[in-house]
C-alpha cells in the first residue's frame, strides 16, 4: 500500500496511488520515513500533513500508509515521562539522535524493556467486559496503574499471569462469546481524535482544590469542569498553569506545552521531581505526564499534541482517577489549524481561521467531565480541562478566545495592568467568572459552614464597590468620600493585596489550604467590621488605618501551614485591642 | 551529477517557476547562472510534479528566461563554519565582504538548524551582570535567555544594546565569549555604530558580523538571522563559547517574510503577515539556550521597532509570546531625557527567578525587586491622579509614593550609557529609594531583610 509524492509545499504533501489508504491514516513519507497523517482524499490522491520538517522531500518519493489512524499507546510507563506532540519519548529520542530532534526517528512510546510487576485482580473463569480491571501495576510510587480489558472485548478470562512482565508480554487470555481467544498485553492503542467511551456522564459537583486563593475562594473550578486562562504575554498564564499542575488535588496531571517555549518545559522537568505533593509527600513528577511540543517543532505536531494529551488523560480517567489536563496554549493549536487550512486552500473564516475552529475547540473541551467508567465496578473518574489562550495583544474579542468562552464554564481573565504592578496571579476579579459557584456552594457550606460563601460574596461586593468608588475618586479626589466609603476602599485594598495576591515563588505562600484561605479572608473582613463599628462611634479613620496590626495582617499569608490558626488568633486579638485603644484614645481627646 | 535547466517559465520577483525539473526537493538550494556568468542564489519553496516554485535571494534584474541556467545543488542552504569566523564580516548570505579570504570550513551546517530537544536543554540560571540597573535589578538577564528590546523608531535601542554587549559579564568568570551580530535591513550608519563600538572596546576580534543593509535585497534577510544563529550554534556548542547574539531589526525580517508570502499569494493573517509568522519567528528565537553537558551558551538580544509604538502589532506581540520576557523602551521617558529610557513596568524577564538570590546575586534581590515594581506602579498611579486633581487630593502615603516614582526614574532608571553598576550598587540604590516609603508598606520584603538592609540614617 504505497503511493508517490506529487507535490511538496512546507508541511503539506500531496501523493497519488493511495487508493487503499483511509482518511486520517498515519503514513510514512519518503526515505526518511517522516510521520504524516492523511487529511483529505480525492480519488487515489491524498493530502497529507507531515509532522516533521519536509526539507529534502520531492516528487517521486514513496509514501506508505500504516492503515491506522493517529493513535497513542496506553499502558505503564507514561507517568514521569515527557513526550513530543505525537507521543515520542523525548529522553529516548535524545539518546537516539543527540541534543536536537533529527527527522524520522521511530521510538516506541512505552519502553519495551522495562519490567513491571503485574498483580492480577481478575481470576480465570471471571466474566469480564470492556473496562474491567484485569490487574494492577505499581507504575510510580504515587500511582497504581490499572490494566483494563480493552474496549470492544468481553468474555471469560481463560488465563492470567502474575509477575514481572514487559508491556508487550501476554498477561491474560480472554475468550469471547464466539469462543475466540484474545491474547491481552499491558498496551492498548486508541485513536487520538476519538473520545474514549464511558458508561455515563455526571454534572460536576466537587471543587478541584488548587491552593490558589483567587481560584478556590473566588472563582472555583469543579473536578470534571472546563476553564480558560486568557491573557496577553507577560501576564502570567504559564505561572498559573504551573501552579495548577503543582498543587491541584487530582491524581494525575497531563501538562501539554503546545507551541510554547522550550525552556519552560525544561523548567517543569527540573522542578517537578523536586517538588512534593502537599497531600501525600510524593514527588509531583510521579503523577505527571508531560507533552512538550515546543514552538520550534513542526507546526503540524502542535495540532496533534492537544489530542495526544487528552487521550492519555481519558485513559487514566477510565481507571477511576481524577485527571487534570493543562493545555498551554490552545491559541497555538488554533494557529496550527489555520496554517494547515491555508495550505489546503480552504475558504477562511474569521481572521483566516478555518470555519470549523469553534466546533474543534468545543469537541476538545467536551472531552472533559465526571463519568462512570466502563466496567462492572461502577468506579468514577474525571477529566478537568484548563486551556490557556494567548490572544493577540490580550484582546479577547478575537476568534479563539471568543469560541473558547462560549464553551468553558470558568474564565480566569488575566490582566496586564495587574501584572505590571506585580499583582500575581494577575487574574482580574471583575472580569473573571465561575459558573460552578451554584453547584459547588453546597459542598463549601457542608465542609466549612455557611460563612465561607457568605464571606466570598461580601468580599466580591466590596471589590465591586471599590471599582465604582475609584471612578469617583478619579473625578473629584478621595476627600469627597465618606469615612465609610474610605473604609470600603481600604478593605478592598487589603483583599487585593493581603488575600488575592499570592506569591508562587515563596514556599509559605505558594499553596494555601482551604482552612487558611477562609481564615485569612475572615481576618480582613473582621477588621472591616471592627473598623465600621469604630467609625460609628466617631473615631478618626486615619488612626484606624495605621494600627500596627495592619502590617501583621499584610504578612499573615506567609504564616506557616501548621501554625497559621494560632497566628491568626493572635493577630485578631492584637487588632481588636488596638482598635479598642484607638476608640478609647478618641474618647479621651 | 548536477543537472542544468534552461526552462525558467516565469519570473515575478522574488519568485520564479522552473519547469521540467527532475529530482528537485523542497527547500533545496539552487544557483542561477546568468549569460554573463554572474551567479545568484535561490531556494525551492514548492515542487509539484516537474514544476518547481523557487524563491530568489537576490534581485531578478537582468535575468533572461531563455538563456539563464538553473542548477539545484542537492542540499538546503548551508553555512561554512569555522573558528576563523571570529573577527570577520559576512554579507546576509554568509559570504565574506571584508576583503579577507574565504573561510576554510570546519563543517557545513544547514542554516535551518533542528529543533532542540527540551529534554536536552539545561535551564538558564547563570546571572549576567549587564551593569544596567533596570535590567540587572528588575529584569535580570541570564545565560541562554532570549530577551528582546522592544523599541520604536527614533529611540536609542542601539545605544542600550551596545551597552549590554560592552558591559555584560558573568560574575567571577571570564570564559570564552563571542558576539554574533546580525544586521537585518538596517542602515549603514546604524550598523557602523555597533561595529565601531565593538572596535572601540576590542570586542571586534571576538565578533562575527552578518550584514544585510537596507539597500541589500530584502529576501536575503530571511536567511541572515539563520546564518547568524548557525554560526552561534557552532561557536557555542562545538567550541564551548558563551555567545551573545544581537539581531537587529526583526521588524525588517518580518516584512521580508511578508513580501515573499504575498508574492506566493498565500492567505494573509493579521496585517498581511503570513499565518505562520509565529512558527517562523519561533524557529529563530528558540535556537537560544543552553544544552546539558555543553559548556557554551547562546544568549539572544533581538531588537525590534514596534510600528507606531504599538505593542499589540503582530511582530512584537508574537515575539513576546516566544521570548523569555522583553525590555520595552518608552518614548515618554526618552523625551524626559532618561537614558536608557526603559519602561520598567511592562518590561519583564521570565527567567529571573532562577538567576537571582543568595549565591547568585544577593538574598534581598527578589523581595526588593517586587517591592520596587509595586511601589513604582502605585507611584505612577498617584502622579496621574495628581495631574488631574492636584497634590492636595493625595493621601500622605500617596504623596510619598509619587515622590518615590520621581526619584526612581531619576536615580535608578536614568543611569546613562556609560555607567556600569555592579549588582551590589544596584541593590543598594534600590534600598535607598525604598527608604522614602513608610516601612509598613514594604510588604513584599521579609522583615529580617528590611532590618538588615534598609539604610538606618
At B173, the pLDDT band (50, 70, 90 cuts) reads low
Q: Which of residues 567-586 of A touch B (CB under 8 A)?
A: none
Nearest to A195 by CA among A23, A327, A363: A363
Window from A317-326, A494-503, B380-389 with minimum mean pLDDT = B380-389
For the four alpha carbons of B62, B66, B69 and B72, in that order, the dihedral sign comes to: positive
Query: A415 to chain B, minimum CA–CA distance in Å?
Result: 12
Across the interface, which of A58, A93, A548 has its CB nearest the CB of B117? A93
| Mean per-residue pLDDT of chain B | 92
Nearest to A428 by CA among A148, A294, A232, A296: A232
Nearest to B427 by CA among B375, B371, B384, B387: B371
> Tell me, what's the pLDDT at B174?
66
> Tell me, what's the pLDDT at A394?
81
Across the interface, which of B112, B311, B443 has its CB nearest the CB of A55? B112
pLDDT digits (tens, 9 = 90+) for A95-150: 988 899 888 888 999 999 999 999 999 999 999 999 999 999 999 998 999 999 99
Across the interface, which of B26, B287, B320 has its CB nearest the CB of A58? B26
**R_g of chain B, CA atoms, integer Å:** 25
pLDDT over 60 (residue A589): no
Query: A540 to chain B, minimum CA–CA distance in Å?
Result: 15
Q: What is the mean pLDDT of residues A581-586?
A: 86
**DSSP H or E segment with residue A241:** helix A237-247
User: Hey, are the CB atoms on B286 and A292 less than 8 Å from each other?
Assistant: no
Q: Could you check whether the bond before residue A407 is cis, i.e. omega within 30 degrees of 0?
A: no
Q: Which residue has the higher pLDDT, A585 or B434?
A: B434
Instruction: State residue A158 phi and psi, 5-degree precision.
Output: -90, -50
Query: A54 to chain B, minimum CA–CA distance in Å?
Result: 7
> Tell me, what's the pLDDT at A38?
93
Q: How far apart are CA A558 and CA A503, in angstroms?
A: 9
User: Hey, are the CB atoms on A9 and B45 less than 8 Å from each other?
Assistant: yes
> Tell me, what's the pLDDT at A1?
65
Query: B123 to chain A, minimum CA–CA distance in Å?
Result: 6
> Tell me, what's the pLDDT at A94?
92
Q: Is residue A311 within 8 Å of residue A190, measured between CB atoms? A: yes
pLDDT digits (tens, 9 = 90+) for A177-194: 999 999 999 999 999 999
Cβ–Cβ contact A261 with B under 8 A: yes
At A422, the pLDDT band (50, 70, 90 cuts) reads confident
At A351, the pLDDT band (50, 70, 90 cuts) reads confident
pLDDT digits (tens, 9 = 90+) for A396-419: 899 999 999 999 999 999 998 899
Q: Is A572 exposed, middle or buried (0-12, 13-18, 19+ CB in 10 A)?
A: buried
Number of Cβ pairs closer than 8 Å across A and B?
A: 221
Polymer length in residues for chain A: 589
pLDDT digits (tens, 9 = 90+) for A246-305: 999 999 999 999 988 889 888 888 888 888 887 788 888 999 999 999 988 888 888 899
Instruction: State residue A120 phi and psi, 5-degree precision.
Output: -65, 145
Q: Please give the model's pTM, rounded to 2 decimal places.
A: 0.91
pLDDT digits (tens, 9 = 90+) for A510-558: 999 999 999 999 999 999 999 999 999 888 888 899 899 998 999 999 9
pLDDT digits (tens, 9 = 90+) for B183-209: 999 999 999 999 999 999 888 899 999
| Mean per-residue pLDDT of chain A | 92
Across the interface, which of B45, B322, B366 has its CB nearest the CB of A261? B322
Nearest to A473 by CA among B49, B384, B90: B384
pLDDT digits (tens, 9 = 90+) for B321-346: 899 999 999 999 999 999 999 999 99
pLDDT digits (tens, 9 = 90+) for B364-399: 999 999 999 999 999 999 999 888 888 887 888 899
Q: How far apart are CA B161 and CA B203, in angstroms?
A: 14
Instruction: Give Cα B37 distance to the centre of its chain.
Output: 38
Q: Is residue B219 within 8 Å of residue B262, measured between CB atoms? A: no
Q: How far apart are CA B167 and CA B165, in angstroms?
A: 6
For the four alpha carbons of B17, B19, B25 and B29, in that order, the dihedral sign comes to: negative
Q: How far apart are CA A36 and CA B388, in angstroms?
A: 61
Amino acid at each position: 500500500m504505497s503511493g508517490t509524492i506529487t507535490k511538496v509545499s512546507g508541511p503539506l504533501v500531496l501523493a497519488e496511488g493511495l487508493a487503499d489508504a483511509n482518511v486520517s491514516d498515519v503514513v510514512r513519507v519518503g526515505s526518511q520515513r517522516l510521520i504524516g497523517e492523511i487529511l483529505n482524499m480525492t480519488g487515489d490522491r491524498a493530502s497529507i500533513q507531515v509532522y516533521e520538517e519536509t526539507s529534502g522531500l520531492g516528487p517521486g518519493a514513496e509514501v506508505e500508509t500504516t492503515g491506522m489512524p493517529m493513535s497513542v499507546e496506553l499502558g505503564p510507563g507514561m507517568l514521569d515521562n515527557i513526550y513530543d506532540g505525537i507521543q515520542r519519548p523525548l529522553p529516548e529520542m535524545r539518546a537516539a539522535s543527540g541534543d536536537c530532534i533529527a527527522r524520522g526517528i521511530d521510538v516506541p512510546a512505552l519502553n519495551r524493556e522495562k519490567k513491571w510487576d503485574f498483580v492480577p485482580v481478575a481470576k480465570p473463569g471471571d466474566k469480564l467486559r470492556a473496562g474491567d480491571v484485569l490487574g494492577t501495576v505499581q507504575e510510580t510510587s504515587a500511582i497504581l496503574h490499572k490494566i483494563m480489558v480493552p474496549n470492544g472485548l468481553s468474555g471469560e478470562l481463560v488465563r492470567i499471569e502474575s509477575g514481572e512482565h514487559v508491556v508487550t508480554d501476554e498477561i491474560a487470555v480472554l475468550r469471547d462469546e464466539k469462543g475466540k481467544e484474545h491474547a491481552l498485553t499491558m498496551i492498548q492503542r486508541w485513536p487520538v481524535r476519538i473520545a474514549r467511551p464511558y458508561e455515563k456522564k455526571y454534572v460536576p459537583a466537587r471543587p478541584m482544590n488548587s491552593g490558589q486563593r483567587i481560584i478556590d475562594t473566588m472563582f472555583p473550578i469543579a473536578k470534571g469542569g472546563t476553564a480558560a486562562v486568557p491573557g496577553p504575554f507577560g501576564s502570567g498564564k504559564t505561572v498559573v498553569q504551573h501552579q495548577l499542575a503543582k498543587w491541584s488535588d487530582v491524581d494525575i496531571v497531563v501538562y501539554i506545552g503546545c507551541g510554547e517555549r522550550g525552556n519552560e518545559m525544561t523548567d517543569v522537568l527540573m522542578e517537578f521531581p523536586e517538588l512534593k505533593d502537599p497531600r501525600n509527600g510524593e514527588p509531583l513528577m510521579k503523577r505527571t505526564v508531560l507533552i512538550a511540543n515546543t514552538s520550534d517543532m513542526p507546526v503540524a505536531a502542535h495540532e496533534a499534541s492537544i489530542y495526544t494529551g487528552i487521550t492519555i488523560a481519558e485513559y487514566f480517567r477510565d481507571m477511576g482517577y481524577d485527571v487534570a489536563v493543562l493545555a498551554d496554549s490552545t491559541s497555538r493549536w488554533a494557529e496550527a489549524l489555520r496554517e494547515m487550512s491555508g495550505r489546503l486552500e480552504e475558504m477562511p473564516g474569521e481572521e483566516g481561521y478555518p470555519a470549523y475552529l469553534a466546533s474543534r475547540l468545543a469537541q476538545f473541551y467536551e472531552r472533559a467531565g465526571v463519568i462512570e467508567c466502563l466496567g462492572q465496578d461502577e468506579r468514577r473518574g474525571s477529566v478537568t480541562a484548563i486551556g490557556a489562550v494567548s490572544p493577540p495583544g490580550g484582546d479577547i474579542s478575537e476568534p479563539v478566545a471568543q469560541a473558547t468562552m462560549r464553551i468553558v464554564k470558568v474564565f480566569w481573565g488575566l490582566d496586564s495592568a495587574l501584572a505590571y504592578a506585580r499583582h500575581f496571579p494577575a487574574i482580574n476579579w471583575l472580569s473573571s467568572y465561575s459558573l460552578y459557584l451554584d453547584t459547588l456552594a453546597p459542598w463549601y457550606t457542608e465542609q466549612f459552614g455557611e460563612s465561607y460563601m457568605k464571606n466570598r460574596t461580601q468580599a466580591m461586593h466590596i471589590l465591586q464597590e471599590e471599582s465604582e468608588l475609584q471612578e469617583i475618586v478619579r473625578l473629584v479626589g478621595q476627600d469627597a468620600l465618606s469615612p465609610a466609603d474610605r473604609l470600603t476602599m481600604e478593605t478592598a485594598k487589603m483583599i487585593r493585596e493581603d488575600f488575592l495576591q499570592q506569591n508562587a515563588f515563596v514556599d509559605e505562600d505558594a499553596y494555601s489550604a482551604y482552612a487558611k484561605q477562609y481564615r485569612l479572608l475572615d481576618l480582613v473582613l473582621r477588621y472591616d467590621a471592627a473598623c465600621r463599628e469604630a467609625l460609628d462611634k466617631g473615631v478618626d479613620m486615619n488612626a484606624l488605618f495605621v494600627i500596627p496590626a495592619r502590617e501583621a495582617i499584610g504578612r499573615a499569608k506567609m504564616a506557616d501551614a501548621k501554625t497559621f490558626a494560632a497566628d491568626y488568633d493572635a493577630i485578631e486579638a492584637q487588632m481588636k485591642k488596638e482598635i479598642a485603644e484607638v476608640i478609647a484614645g478618641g474618647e479621651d481627646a | 551529477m548536477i543537472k542544468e535547466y534552461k526552462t525558467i517559465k516565469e519570473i515575478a520577483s522574488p519568485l520564479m517557476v522552473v519547469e521540467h525539473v527532475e529530482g528537485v526537493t523542497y527547500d533545496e538550494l539552487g544557483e542561477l547562472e546568468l549569460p554573463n556568468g554572474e551567479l545568484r542564489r535561490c531556494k525551492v519553496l514548492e515542487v509539484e510534479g516537474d514544476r518547481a516554485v523557487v524563491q530568489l535571494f537576490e534581485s531578478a534584474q537582468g535575468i533572461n528566461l531563455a538563456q539563464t541556467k538553473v542548477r539545484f545543488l542537492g542540499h538546503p542552504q548551508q553555512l561554512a563554519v569555522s573558528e576563523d569566523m571570529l573577527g570577520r564580516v559576512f554579507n546576509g548570505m554568509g559570504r565574506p565582504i571584508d576583503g579577507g579570504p574565504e573561510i576554510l570550513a570546519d563543517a557545513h551546517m544547514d542554516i535551518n538548524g533542528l529543533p532542540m530537544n527540551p529534554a536536552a536543554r539545561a535551564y538558564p540560571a547563570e546571572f549576567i551582570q549587564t551593569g544596567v540597573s533596570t535590567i540587572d535589578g528588575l529584569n535580570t538577564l541570564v545565560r541562554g535567555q532570549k530577551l528582546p528590546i522592544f523599541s520604536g523608531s527614533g529611540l536609542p535601542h542601539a545605544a542600550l544594546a551596545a551597552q549590554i554587549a560592552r558591559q555584560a559579564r558573568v560574575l567571577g568568570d571570564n570564559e570564552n565569549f563571542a558576539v554574533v551580530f546580525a544586521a537585518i535591513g538596517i542602515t549603514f550608519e546604524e550598523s557602523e555604530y555597533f561595529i565601531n563600538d565593538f572596535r572601540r572596546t576590542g570586542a571586534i576580534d571576538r565578533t562575527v558580523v552578518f550584514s544585510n543593509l537596507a539597500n541589500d535585497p530584502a529576501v536575503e534577510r530571511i536567511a541572515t538571522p539563520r546564518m547568524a544563529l548557525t554560526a552561534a550554534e557552532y561557536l557555542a556548542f562545538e567550541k564551548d563559547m558563551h555567545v551573545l547574539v544581537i539581531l537587529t531589526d526583526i521588524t525588517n525580517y518580518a516584512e521580508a517574510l511578508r513580501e515573499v508570502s504575498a508574492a506566493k499569494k498565500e492567505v494573509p493573517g493579521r496585517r498581511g503577515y503570513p499565518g505562520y509568522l509565529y512558527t517562523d519567528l519561533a524557529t529563530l528565537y528558540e535556537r537560544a539556550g543552553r544544552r546539558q553537558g555543553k559548556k557554551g551558551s547562546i544568549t539572544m538580544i533581538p531588537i525590534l521597532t514596534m510600528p507606531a509604538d504599538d505593542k499589540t502589532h503582530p511582530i512584537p506581540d508574537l515575539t513576546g509570546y516566544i521570548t523569555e520576557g522583553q525590555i520595552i523602551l518608552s518614548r515618554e521617558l526618552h523625551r524626559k531625557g532618561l537614558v536608557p529610557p526603559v519602561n520598567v513596568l511592562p518590561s519583564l524577564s521570565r527567567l529571573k527567578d532562577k538567576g537571582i538570590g543568595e549565591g547568585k546575586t544577593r538574598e534581598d534581590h527578589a523581595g526588593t525587586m517586587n517591592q520596587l515594581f509595586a511601589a513604582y506602579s502605585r507611584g505612577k498611579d498617584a502622579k496621574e491622579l495628581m495631574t488631574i486633581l492636584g497634590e492636595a487630593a493625595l493621601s500622605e502615603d500617596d504623596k510619598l509614593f509619587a515622590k518615590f516614582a520621581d526619584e526612581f526614574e531619576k536615580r535608578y532608571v536614568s543611569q546613562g550609557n556609560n555607567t556600569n553598576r555592579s549588582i551590589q550598587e544596584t541593590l543598594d540604590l534600590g534600598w535607598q529609594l525604598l527608604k522614602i516609603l513608610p516601612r509598613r508598606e514594604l510588604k513584599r520584603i521579609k522583615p529580617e531583610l528590611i532590618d538588615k538592609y534598609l539604610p538606618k540614617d
